[in-house]
Amino acid sequence: MDSIDTPPVAAVYRKYQDGILPAYNYPPYASSVKRSPRQPLVPLRQTLSELTAPRFVPPEALSPINLTKGPHGDALGERILVSGRVLDEDGRAVPGTLVEIWQANAAGRYLHAHDQHDAPLDPNFTGCGYFVTDRAGRFAFETIRPGAYPWRNHYNAWRPAHIHFSVFGPAFATRLITQMYFPGDPLLPFDPIFNSIRLEAARNRLIASFNWDTTVPDYGLGYQFDIVLRGSEQTPMENKP
């Protein structure tokens, strides 16, 4: 009720500890050099503007979206079931937040005009979707395991398989865009984007884990990917299940 006149949260979000956020200027990722600032960032005290964000009503029941069904039939490739939760640093669920995902198809090609990789498009796979987390911060979707693909960053450069995630969270301060990787991918040690994160534990957080419990017999492998947003210094007044 009348939440416009009520502080949304009595909270200030914690700083990221060193080694989690990649440097803006990271020469191994060639595109960063001319597209990143050189001046130091100016500290910004969190005000109401940074502590608010668009919020959404969590769905009553978890209803997984399915990217594998196209207009003419099933998408090609290995079906996988991805599920997880959006949490904060203290393990509190982040309900009612918008998550957007996008990825390449099984052959490593995006449905994007600028992607000219010589690999086939799949008429039954767009590779994108969105959902709102439920009251427990949960989400689940079914998709095709994306393929690796070459890029021009350096000689013989290949991106490891990944799914892009965009998450709003409860405040402008918690907005996050990241990538989910797959366990055991041999390309990870060579990838400058993954390795732009200095802290090994923070890199590993971006790797989904195989989940036997969500693996469906005779159907597809389950992967677990939890997304952890910045925590707040005080207990939010909302955000209770």
Partner 1 sequence: VTPQPKNPESTADAVAETHLPTAYQTVGPYFKIGLEAFYRDDLTGPNTPGQVIEIVGSVIDADGVSVPDAVLEFWHADSEGRYQEQPQLQPFEGSFVGFGRVPTDADGHFRFRTIKPGAVQVHTPARQAPHILVSVFLRGLLHRLITRIYFSDEPDNADDPVLGSVEANRRNSLVARADPSQSGRYTWDVFLQGASETVFFDL
What residues are annotated to the active site? 110, 149, 159, 162, 164
In whole angstroms, how close is the CB of 190 to partner 1 at the nearest point?
16
Quote the distance between the C-alpha of residue 190 and its chain's center: 21
Span interacting with partner 1, options 14-22, 69-77, 182-190, rule CB under 8 A: 14-22
In whole angstroms, how close is the CB of 124 to partner 1 at the nearest point?
15
In whole angstroms, how close is the CB of 185 to partner 1 at the nearest point?
14
> Could you say which DSSP state residue 12 is in?
-
Determine how β-strand 98-103 pairs with β-strand 162-167: antiparallel
What span, in angstroms and rounded, lies between the C-alpha atoms of 135 and 5? 24
In whole angstroms, how close is the CB of 54 to partner 1 at the nearest point?
5
Sign of the C-alpha dihedral computed for residues 200, 202, 208 and 214 taken in this order: positive
Which parts of 48-107 interact with partner 1 (CB under 8 A)? 48-50, 52-57, 62, 64, 81-85, 87-93, 96, 98, 100-102, 104
Q: Is 27 in the site for partner 1 (CB under 8 A)?
A: no
Among 70, 124, 158, 175, binds partner 1 (CB under 8 A): 175
- 81 and 122 Cβ atoms separated by less than 8 Å: no
What span, in angstroms and rounded, lies between the C-alpha atoms of 178 and 236? 24
In whole angstroms, how close is the CB of 203 to partner 1 at the nearest point?
7
- Taking residues 200 to 229 in sequence order and writing x for each that binds partner 1 by CB under 8 A, - otherwise, the string is -xxx-xx----x-xx-x--xx-x---xxxx
Determine how β-strand 138-144 pairs with β-strand 128-132: unpaired
Query: Which residue's CB is nearer to partner 1, number 76 or number 153?
Result: 153
Instruction: List residues bridging with 101 in a β-sheet.
Output: 129, 165
**What is the CB neighbour count within 10 angstroms for residue 123?**
13
Query: Which residue's CB is nearer to partner 1, number 136 or number 187?
Result: 136
Which parts of 127-166 interact with partner 1 (CB under 8 A)? 127-128, 130, 132, 135-138, 140, 142, 164, 166
Name the amino acid, one letter, at 177: I
Query: Which residue's CB is nearer to partner 1, number 60 or number 184?
Result: 60
- 165 and 180 Cβ atoms separated by less than 8 Å: yes
